[in-house]
Amino acid sequence: MAKTSRSGVSQLTQWFTTRNILSVGDFKARDLETIFEVADSLEPINLGRTSSDLMKGLVLGTLFFEPSTRTRLSFETAMLRLGGNVINVIGNSSSLEKGESLRDMGRVVSCFADVIAMRHPTAFTVHELSEGSTVPVINAGDGANEHPTQAMLDLYTIRKNQRRLKGLKVGLLGDLKYGRAAHSLIRVLALYGTEFVLISHPSLKLPEELLRELKTLGCNAVETSDLRSAIQDLDVLYVTRVQKERFPNLVDYEQVKNEYRVDLKTLRGARRSLSILHPLPRLDEIASEVDADPRFGCFDQVANGVTIRMALLALVAGRIPKAPKGKKKK
């Protein structure tokens, strides 16, 4: 195995070694910055579509007990481009059916894999698995609870596109009541003194406790149902999918869907530097005519997702790339 020089490894990166990535709440702004700097140094491998030997000899186990093609492929691509290998479990085809505890399963998969990325429809199952595991476990989404790597890639995309994270004005649009991606992003953005504009139909407003949490953290947050006015002075517009199942009837759903749809007309008057983001998959929330607009950043998010997962895999495995020379703190 190629020796990985650790001369450039700071204490901050060492802190990550063998650590689980279960919740964004476990990371301070300084930890997130470490992840982003490692991501920056690995980005050429992802975008240049070259290979690396950084993770050579290591195995990532992706345990996906719920379909999530995008997230699984992102983790697997990250590992493969770093020269590692992948084993996977998809669907319900696992020993879980035979009644094995998640704890035992974590211990067993540790005998195969050096890092585990797990997706499960039930909240906190990934914590259970991690208790048995002897290798780092990354939460790839545990039901209604969290999807921390999504929040990290969203934040990384904002940092890249806006060239800063502090003091941004961020609009969140769509289903703010149930949307897990929006909730996690709000929580990490709160670390940076973000000013929130919460744009939704009255029936899909942000939960009261999360709104209070924001205010406790000193963040400014206004609620509105008027997309056209709200969009004018935003730095970021984060759009989420409104699910049909949330509405009592199809007529209400169609009306809300049309009212909160982002198209070129909606974007009139928005800033030239606006970042339009969406966790994908999208249906009609963003019209396809917007795709060609330079402000449309959804596919950047997908590419950045691979880079962020490269950084996380390298960090938890202790395979930290050499610090690039002359790197400046952002």
Report, in Å, the least distance between residue 275 CB and its own copies.
17
- 70 tagged catalytic: yes
Decide: is 245 part of the binding site for its own copies (CB under 8 A): no
Report, in Å, the least distance between residue 193 CB and its own copies.
31
> From the candidates 72, 81, 119, 183, which is the catalytic residue?
119
Binding mask 67-106 for its own copies (x = CB under 8 A): x-xx--xx-xx--xx---xxx-xxx-xxx-xxxxx-xxx-
The Cα-based distances of 85 to 19, 44, 55, 62, 326 in angstroms read 20, 20, 8, 11, 32
Q: Say if residue 171 is exposed, middle or buried (CB neighbours under 10 Å; 0-12, 13-18, 19+).
A: buried
Buried b / exposed e over 119-148, threshold 16 CB at 10 Å, is bbeeebbbbbbbebbebbbbbbbbbebbbb
> Distance between CA atoms of 229 and 177, rounded to whole angstroms?
21
CA dihedral 184, 185, 190, 196 (to 10 degrees): -120
Report, in Å, the least distance between residue 70 CB and its own copies.
6
Sites for its own copies among residues 48-67 (CB under 8 A): 49-51, 56-59, 61, 67
Decide: is 108 part of the binding site for its own copies (CB under 8 A): yes
Decide: is 216 part of the binding site for its own copies (CB under 8 A): no
> Distance between CA atoms of 211 and 251, rounded to whole angstroms?
29
Q: What distance lies between CA 126 and its chain's CA centroid?
A: 16
Decide: is 3 part of the binding site for its own copies (CB under 8 A): no
Active-site residues, by number, are: 70-71, 98, 119, 147
Q: Which residues bind its own copies (CB under 8 A)?
A: 1, 49-51, 56-59, 61, 67, 69-70, 73-74, 76-77, 80-81, 85-87, 89-91, 93-95, 97-101, 103-105, 107-109, 111-114, 280-283, 288, 299, 302-303, 305-306
